[in-house]
């Protein structure tokens, strides 16, 4: 049981470190949302949204992602930040990958 617990702890530490590394590759702007989404992914975490945008950014298919924490929706866009419009709630965030600038 101790080996299982230690292994789970190491896995959790690795995943957390990976998540922090991925998050560091993004600028986050609260209070804005994506206007021209090219894809929408439902029921995902902010991390999953960012990871999806990073994968697509390699091919130029995602320059900015919008995430709504209440509905857990991710809106991916191939448009630059200029495609984002102001929104009144902090539930919306814009995630901009460093290579999308």
Which tokens go with 15?
A: 């995943």
> What pLDDT score was predicted for residue 36?
85
CA distances 64 to 6, 7, 61, 85, 101, Å, are 38, 36, 9, 12, 9
In tens digits, the chain (101 residues) has pLDDT values of 555 454 544 444 344 444 444 445 788 888 888 888 999 999 999 999 999 999 998 888 999 999 999 999 999 999 887 877 767 688 899 888 876 54
Q: b/e string for 1-29 if b means 16 or more Cβ within 10 A?
A: eeeeeeeeeeeeeeeeeeeeeeeebbeeb
CATH of 2-100, one of 3.30.460.20, 3.40.50.2300, 3.50.4.10, 3.30.70.60: 3.50.4.10
> What pLDDT score was predicted for residue 88?
60
Polymer length in residues for the chain: 101
Place of tokens 């990958």: 97
> What pLDDT score was predicted for residue 15?
41
């Amino acid at each position: 049981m101790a080996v299982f617990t230690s292994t789970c702890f190491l896995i959790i530490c690795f995943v957390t470190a990976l998540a922090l590394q991925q998050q560091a590759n993004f600028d986050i702007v609260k209070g804005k949302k994506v206007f021209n989404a090219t894809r929408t992914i439902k029921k995902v975490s902010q991390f999953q949204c960012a990871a999806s945008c990073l994968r697509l950014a390699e091919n130029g298919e995602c320059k900015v992602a919008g995430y709504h924490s209440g509905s857990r929706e991710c809106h991916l866009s191939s448009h630059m930040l200029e495609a984002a419009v102001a929104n009144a709630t902090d539930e919306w965030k814009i995630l901009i990958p460093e290579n999308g600038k």
